[in-house]
Chain A
Amino acid sequence: MGVWPYLAAGWILLVALYGMVTSRNLIHAIGCLAVAQSSTYVLLLAVGYRDHGTAPVFSDLEPGSRPLVDPIVQALVLTDIVVGATVTALLLALTIQLRKRHGTVDPQALTGLKG
């Protein structure tokens, strides 16, 4: 696969950053945060990829018979997904509450704190 997945991960991160910087809607911004997180999935899985490797599941596989992809990065991605789901849910809940109290989800309309 070469260098492409790494470039893709970087691109996804930058796209997400652009989306968050220019966002006019907090739900959109939190969606962009999830996109930024998916760049970490791409990078981690690319790190552990091996050509012609198979999934590291040994139930029907004789150890040593075939190359395997790295299971550690897959475990990292799973942990990352759990962490991300928690944070995203919490931020969305805060946004719902903000909509109720403030009547807007536009981050640029929130001017209560400055200076």
Chain B
Amino acid sequence: MSVATLLPVAVAIPLLGAALLAVTGRVLPRVGCDVLATAVAAADIVCLALLWPHTRGVAVVRLGGWPADVGVVLAADRLGAGLALLAACLVLAVLGYSWRYFDEPAGERSGVFPAMVLVFEAGMVGFALTGDLFNAFVFFELMGAAAYALTGYRIEDPRPLQGALTFGIVTSFAAYCSLLGIGLLYARTGQLGLAAMGRGLAAHRTDLLVVLAFVLVVTAMLVKAAVMPFHFWLPDAHAVAPTPVCMLLSGVMVELGVYGIGRVYWTVFSGAGGVAHDAFRHTFVALGVLTALLGAVMCWKQRHLKRMLAFSTIGHVGLFVAGVAMLTPASTAGIALYVAAHGCAKAALFGLTGVLLDRFGSVDEHGLFGRARDVPWIGALFVAGALALAGLPPFGTGLGKALAEDAAGHAYPWLPAVYVATSALTGGAVLRAALRVFWGAGKEPHSHPDEAQTTGEGEQPETHDPRRRPPPMMIAVPAVLLAACLTLGCLPAVAHALAGGARTFTDPAAYRAAVLGPAGAVPHAGGPLVPSAWTGSGVLLGTVSALAAVLFACLAAFRPRALPHRLSRTVRTCVNGLRRLHSGHLGDYLAWLASGVAVLCAALAGQG
């Protein structure tokens, strides 16, 4: 099939499937809904996989046959199509995982959950494949609305509602900021297509309008990507969303924000009349590093397992942002692989946490101490996931991290240390939880009642009859996802293909030529080859961070008072201050968002 069919169909399949499910879900039995939803998700994967060979350059479709500077275009390059494929694969995994997950009486509502997941998928795939900024906003809101609804899916409990409301209000406000930015860009260029906007900006010089438009447009993506100080909604939403939804939110939706930042910068603002490379690089590397460190420290201090995984996502997103902000093909290729492997590993870890919640009705590290001794094989999967997060070779996360570190080390020699520290701390926190929950390692931890934190106790189990044995699909899906994470690191072809995609991604001239040039022309990117294989230093740094994670976990479990008293008091004061910032108040979060926008404007305008 040709690109002209495959590209629009990839977005249309989940939308049509959702509509079909919403209609037939009332009459179909539960099994029928699940089979239909799974078939639709599988069909979308097939469609995107057929599209993949066409994305050696940029595959473009002009909807309705309008020329590209008038109509709306869909444009897929290898990274965009790859991200769409990742989203589709995770959706299939989630639908399989939730086959036996929600115990709902069959009837009117049995089609609702899979239908909403498919709408969510349509938003994500559309966002990754669109070549039009306003269209991106619409897909962004579609993805957002589905995500708020899914976060608050268990409307019988108060806490999911709170998380979903914060998520919805903060993200919607940011989306309106983004729309203001789109309006300003339209005023400057008279265009809405990414490529045409980039060409239009080159006719003017950079001024405050462009900087303001850039900051406003990326505000929505920074919020979605949960970059500090735009991240506050994320731990609240991820702690309360149903586990299958967390797998999607953390595995791919957050990364779509990072992709959006990179896409908008490269296609619109990277040339003349845009934002200078140096200004973007300095600002976003700083943002990424701060986000990574904050996420890692907060992850280490959590006892609510889902919240821990959520903060670990923030830590990794910081690394992704810093890598994308390097603005080199090599770092972009590394981050692309890192994102794919991280999505699989994180979704698997959330899935395993869901098994714990299903069995014990708790996701609290302290409350679950030693209670899961009878299922050590789930613990083994948990440990594998933690080591994958820490970047142990040959997991795909390890290869992605190694490539990104290599590229980062050329520009900022200290940056690889941040990569190692963040992955060691986040992997170590998950490992510590696994040691305590599955093997009862060390002394039973005591909590301080005055500490401001969310425990994971008293969570409503998401299934109503605690079965003796966890359903096989809930184990099989995380196991398959972890195997996929391992495969990504072992198959050189994947990394090689993404390296080629990264060269196209970082070449705005090729994108512009493909979108605005004569129809059917698909230029190939030139330029130097991008490294995509394991190196000795990469294996070494991956092993170091995994060993550090094991060391941290063992110290925390067996020798909790390893630090000298005075040092530990200083550290605790700082960390507690950091934790008090996460107050759970909507107003605080919005104030942080506004100050983040102001600081970003000042930083970019000051360097411009």
B584 at the interface (CB under 8 A from A): yes
Q: Using known A-B contacts A98-B165, A107-B587, determine if residue A40 contacts B145 with beta carbons closer than 8 Å.
A: no
A9 to B168, CA, bound (A): 22
Task: Out of B157, B235, B240, B587, name the residue touching A23 (CB < 8 Å).
Answer: B587
- Chain B residues with CB under 8 Å of A110's CB are 162, 584-585
- Chain A residues with CB under 8 Å of B134's CB are 76, 79
CB-nearest residue of chain A relative to B451?
A115
A55 at the interface (CB under 8 A from B): no
Contacting pair B148 A79 (CB below 8 A): no
- Chain B residues with CB under 8 Å of A47's CB are 183-184, 186-187
A86 to B168, CA, bound (A): 11
13 sampled A-B residue pairs with Cβ under 8 A: A20-B587, A20-B590, A21-B587, A21-B591, A23-B587, A33-B169, A33-B173, A43-B184, A90-B145, A90-B168, A101-B158, A111-B584, A113-B159
Contacting pair A21 B590 (CB below 8 A): yes
- Chain A residues with CB under 8 Å of B590's CB are 17, 20-21
Q: Using known A-B contacts A20-B173, A26-B165, A110-B162, determine if residue A39 contacts B180 with beta carbons closer than 8 Å.
A: yes
Min CB gap B305→A, angstroms? 14
Task: Out of B152, B155, B453, name the residue touching A114 (CB < 8 Å).
Answer: B453
Interface string of A70-96 (1 = CB under 8 A from B): 001100100110010011001100110
B99 at the interface (CB under 8 A from A): no
5 cross-chain pairs, A with B, having the tightest CB-CB distances, nearest first: A115-B453, A114-B584, A107-B586, A102-B158, A47-B187
Min CB gap A93→B, angstroms? 9
Taking A40-B179, A86-B145 as given, write out 10 further A-B residue pairs in contact, using a Cβ cutoff of 8 Å, ordered by the A residue number: A26-B165, A33-B173, A47-B186, A76-B179, A80-B179, A87-B168, A98-B158, A102-B158, A112-B162, A115-B582
B114 at the interface (CB under 8 A from A): no
Min CB gap B204→A, angstroms? 16
B478 at the interface (CB under 8 A from A): no
A29 to B302, CA, bound (A): 30
Which residues of A, 17-40, contact B by the 8 Å Cβ criterion?
A: 17, 20-23, 26, 29-30, 33, 36-37, 39-40
B281 at the interface (CB under 8 A from A): no
Best-surrounded residue of A30, A47, A115 (most CB of chain B within 10 A)? A115
How many of B's residues come within 8 Å of A, CB to CB?
Answer: 54
Interface string of B157-186 (1 = CB under 8 A from A): 111011111001100110011011011101
Q: Using known A-B contacts A40-B179, A72-B192, A107-B585, determine if residue A87 contacts B141 with beta carbons closer than 8 Å.
A: yes
Contacting pair A9 B586 (CB below 8 A): no
B156 at the interface (CB under 8 A from A): yes
CB-nearest residue of chain B relative to A36?
B176
Task: Out of A29, A39, A113, name the residue touching B240 (CB < 8 Å).
Answer: A113
A54 at the interface (CB under 8 A from B): no
Min CB gap A42→B, angstroms? 10
B568 at the interface (CB under 8 A from A): no
How many of A's residues come within 8 Å of B, CB to CB?
Answer: 42
Q: Using known A-B contacts A39-B176, A112-B158, A113-B162, determine if residue A94 contacts B454 with beta carbons closer than 8 Å.
A: no
B452 at the interface (CB under 8 A from A): yes
B512 at the interface (CB under 8 A from A): no
A44 at the interface (CB under 8 A from B): yes
Contacting pair A91 B176 (CB below 8 A): no
- Chain B residues with CB under 8 Å of A73's CB are 183, 186
Contacting pair B168 A43 (CB below 8 A): no
- Chain B residues with CB under 8 Å of A87's CB are 141, 144-145, 148, 168, 172
B3 at the interface (CB under 8 A from A): no
A37 to B179, CA, bound (A): 9
CB-nearest residue of chain B relative to A44?
B183
Contacting pair A115 B183 (CB below 8 A): no
- Chain B residues with CB under 8 Å of A112's CB are 158-159, 162, 454, 584
Contacting pair B141 A98 (CB below 8 A): no
Contacting pair A43 B454 (CB below 8 A): no
Q: Using known A-B contacts A33-B172, A107-B587, A110-B584, determine if residue A91 contacts B158 with beta carbons closer than 8 Å.
A: no
Task: Out of A20, A40, A102, name the residue touching B169 (CB < 8 Å).
Answer: A20
- Chain B residues with CB under 8 Å of A113's CB are 159, 162-163, 235-236, 239-240, 454, 584
- Chain A residues with CB under 8 Å of B138's CB are 79, 83
- Chain A residues with CB under 8 Å of B453's CB are 114-115
B594 at the interface (CB under 8 A from A): yes
B149 at the interface (CB under 8 A from A): yes
- Chain A residues with CB under 8 Å of B594's CB are 17, 21
A111 to B240, CA, bound (A): 13
A69 at the interface (CB under 8 A from B): no
B579 at the interface (CB under 8 A from A): yes
A4 to B587, CA, bound (A): 29
Contacting pair B165 A94 (CB below 8 A): yes
